[in-house]
């Protein structure tokens, strides 16, 4: 991972990066991109719920590029990975957007279903954990605050399980 690398992030990554105060470091170090559906999800939810993380609109718009996803892109994803219909909407939109790209992006997610979908699409080498991004961006103060599903070893386990389930084909 290098400075300026395009990193596609889902809703949970945005929320956890804001919660652990490493969002600024990530958007300064990487070219962080997402989709409008993930921005919408990051700003929604029950604000009075214990542990709710407020993601301000300014945090999403400053240094983050959000893409609109068309029905055609969603359909293309469904044709390539029929199981993608089981993903959360933000993840489904993010993978549909990723499928339409032809650059050297990497992606960060923390959901086992999204990892399995990425592996079915043969993107296993493009997946990185939030822990890895935080280290690369030099935001080491956030490392001890990250929840388990954002760790590199968790991603590695899920990726390995998905590769075994997919087979070598």
Three-state secondary structure string covering 42-81: HCCCCCCCCCCCCCCHHHHHCCCEEECCCHHHHHHHHHHC
Look over the chain and give the mean of its residue pLDDT values, rounded to a whole number: 93
Q: Tell me, what's the pLDDT at 46?
A: 74
Query: What angle separates helix 130-137 from helix 11-19, to the nearest 10 degrees?
Result: 50
Higher-pLDDT residue of 122, 49: 122
Using the Cα atoms of residue 158, residue 2, residue 30 and residue 105 in order, give the sign of their dihedral: negative
Per residue in 25-83, pLDDT tens? 999 999 999 999 999 999 887 777 877 887 888 877 788 999 999 999 999 999 999 99
The stretch 81-95 carries a mean pLDDT of 97
Q: Are 50 and 82 in contact (CB under 8 A)?
A: no
Domains of the chain: 6-166 (3.40.50)
Flag the least confident range among 47-51, 83-87, 107-111. 47-51
Q: Are 81 and 115 in contact (CB under 8 A)?
A: no
């Amino acid at each position: 991972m290098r400075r300026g690398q395009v990193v596609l992030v889902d809703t949970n990554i945005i929320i956890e990066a804001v919660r652990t105060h490493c969002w600024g470091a990530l958007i300064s170090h990487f070219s962080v991109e997402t989709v409008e559906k993930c921005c919408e999800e990051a700003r929604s939810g029950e604000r009075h719920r214990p542990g709710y993380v407020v993601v301000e609109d300014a945090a999403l718009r400053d240094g983050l590029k959000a893409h609109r996803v068309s029905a055609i892109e969603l359909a293309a994803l469904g044709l390539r990975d029929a199981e993608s219909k089981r993903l959360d909407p933000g993840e489904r939109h993010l993978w549909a957007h990723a499928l339409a790209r032809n650059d050297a992006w990497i992606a960060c997610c923390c959901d086992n279903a999204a990892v399995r979908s990425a592996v079915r699409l043969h993107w296993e080498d493009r997946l990185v954990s939030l822990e890895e991004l935080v280290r690369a961006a030099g935001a080491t103060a956030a490392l001890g605050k990250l929840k388990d599903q954002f760790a590199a070893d968790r991603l590695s386990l899920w990726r390995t399980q998905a590769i075994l389930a997919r087979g070598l084909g």
